[in-house]
């Protein structure tokens, strides 16, 4: 697999496990705050 495909698959799995659109688990997210504008935003 090329790196773009691998990255895409990893982001899909991340979305399923941690960053669900309706209830994201930001505290469990390993991404840096500068990569995700949602970190630190409350509902």
pLDDT in tens, 1-43: 588 899 899 989 988 888 887 888 888 888 766 677 776 666 5
Residue 6: predicted pLDDT: 92
pTM over 0.95: no
Longest C-alpha distance within the chain, in Å? 37
Is the dihedral angle over the CA atoms 39, 11, 21, 17 positive or is it negative? negative
Query: Which DSSP string corresponds to the chain?
Result: --HHHHHHHHHHHHHHHT--SSS--GGG--S-GGG-TTTT---
Quick check: 7 and 15 in contact, CB under 8 A? Answer: no
């Amino acid at each position: 697999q090329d790196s773009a495909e691998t990255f895409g698959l990893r982001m899909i799995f991340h979305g399923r496990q941690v960053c669900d659109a309706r209830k994201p688990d930001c505290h469990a997210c390993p991404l840096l705050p500068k990569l995700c504008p949602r970190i630190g935003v409350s509902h």
